[in-house]
Amino acid sequence: MARSSVIRRPLIVTLIVAGSVLAAASAAFAQAQESRLEGKVRAGDEVVIPADETVEHNLYVSGGRVRVEGRIEGDLVAAGGQVDVLGEVAGDALLAGGTVNVSGDIQGDVRVGAGQFVISSAVGGDVVIGAGQGVVTSAASIGEDLVFSAGQMTMDGAVAGSVLGQAGDYRESGSVAGAVDVAVSEPPAPPTVADRAAGAARRYASLLIFGALLLVIAPRVLRSGAESLRREPLKDLGLGALGYIAAIAAVLVIAFAMILLAIALGLLQLGGLVVAGLVGGLLTIAVIVFALVVVSAFFAQTLVGLWLGRFAVGDAGWLRAFLALAVGALAIVVLTAIPYVGPVVRLLVALFGMGALLLAVYRRMRPPRSPQAMPPAHAAPVVQ
């Protein structure tokens, strides 16, 4: 029987992080079949611990495929594309892989990070699972608690303790001696017509408020951008595309420079400056991304809205300019709400608006041209 509640479980994620660490560390070992530290560390494309082997200490193993058939007297740490544990483990098992199967008895705890995980054996301690799909079969028995975070979880086994977890889909037909506390994430309901209408109304109101402020604070820039769209729309379109490309290129250059700077400062043993450089780079990237969002969501739509509204209302005076903005913004909101058409309209508005804004700001900041000097007047001829 499944029970659900909305609770916070940061501990679940913390317990499962070890699986990701194992997956990343496996590349350091899995080059050729090898064994180190007297067999404690083993790696290779395929690593098999045969059924007749007993490992009298901890075992750390990684590879494309890992198969443990023998007995491990200590702890087992295994990572690979596919991990199969068929033998017995006297200690704990920490497992990470694309597919992990446990059919051998584990006397200690089991901690797993996997895309798909199946357990069908006896575990003396806790079982902690982080997986896309997890299955505790009817043949499995867990001596203490079951903790999990999974996209889909099936619990058909026996749990002597409690069950705590969260999943997109949870099915339970096994037995649980303690409490069951599972939060099941329900898929979001598709937006209704009323939801879409309310979202469009909020967008329209925000554009009107933002446009009204621009008409008060920077009316010349706004009108200059709308006039540029009327006279040079193709030029604005190309300039807008170049503006977005330049912003994306700047983000990539800053990120690359951050990496090079961190490496250089690390080699020079200037660790304190590494943090300062990374923080400065991340703040710069955040500012660029924020500016792009504001331009795309507000400036561009306000400029294009004013340009469209001028055809119906004109923009002589503040009130008429605001009415033009109201008409144009309404057209944009309606067009962008149409399925399939909306994304295309939104992209074109962003490109045209970006180009018009850049051109308007450039013309506003450009110093005025000085009038050309008039040629000196020639003296009238003296009549004798």
pLDDT tens per residue across span 227-284:
888 888 888 899 999 999 999 999 999 988 888 887 777 777 666 677 777 888 889 9
- Contact residues for 51 (Cβ-Cβ < 8 A; gap 6+): 69, 70, 86, 87
* Predicted structure pTM score: 0.50
**Whether the predicted pLDDT of 109 surpasses 90:** yes
Compare 50 and 365 and report the one with higher pLDDT: 50
**Whether the predicted pLDDT of 310 surpasses 60:** yes
| For range 58-86, the mean pLDDT | 90
| For range 4-9, the mean pLDDT | 41
- Chain mean pLDDT for the chain: 82
CA–CA separation, 383 vs 377, rounded Å? Answer: 18
Supply 268's token pair.
Answer: 């020079």
| For range 281-308, the mean pLDDT | 89
pLDDT the model gives residue 271: 61
pLDDT the model gives residue 14: 42
pLDDT the model gives residue 27: 41
Give backbone dihedrals phi and psi of 82, rounded to 5 degrees, phi first. -135, 130
| For range 172-177, the mean pLDDT | 90
pLDDT the model gives residue 372: 53
CA–CA separation, 114 vs 131, rounded Å? Answer: 5
**Whether the predicted pLDDT of 39 surpasses 60:** yes
pLDDT the model gives residue 123: 93
pLDDT the model gives residue 218: 84
pLDDT grade for 2, boundaries at 50, 70 and 90: very low
pLDDT the model gives residue 11: 43
pLDDT grade for 126, boundaries at 50, 70 and 90: very high
Neighbours of 279 (CB within 10 A): 11
pLDDT the model gives residue 143: 93
181: which strand partners? 164
pLDDT grade for 89, boundaries at 50, 70 and 90: very high
**Whether the predicted pLDDT of 384 surpasses 60:** no
pLDDT the model gives residue 371: 54
Tell the residue number behind the tokens 């209408």, with chain if given.
197
CA–CA separation, 105 vs 95, rounded Å? Answer: 14
pLDDT grade for 348, boundaries at 50, 70 and 90: very high
**Cross-sheet strand order for the sheet of 41-49:** 34-36, 41-49, 59-68, 76-85, 93-102, 110-119, 127-136, 146-155, 163-172, 180-184
Give backbone dihedrals phi and psi of 93, rounded to 5 degrees, phi first. -125, 125
Tell me how many degrees the CA angle 104-110-114 measures, rounded to the nearest 5.
95
pLDDT in tens, 198-228: 888 999 999 999 988 988 888 888 888 888 8
Give backbone dihedrals phi and psi of 6, rounded to 5 degrees, phi first. -95, 105
**Whether the predicted pLDDT of 313 surpasses 50:** yes
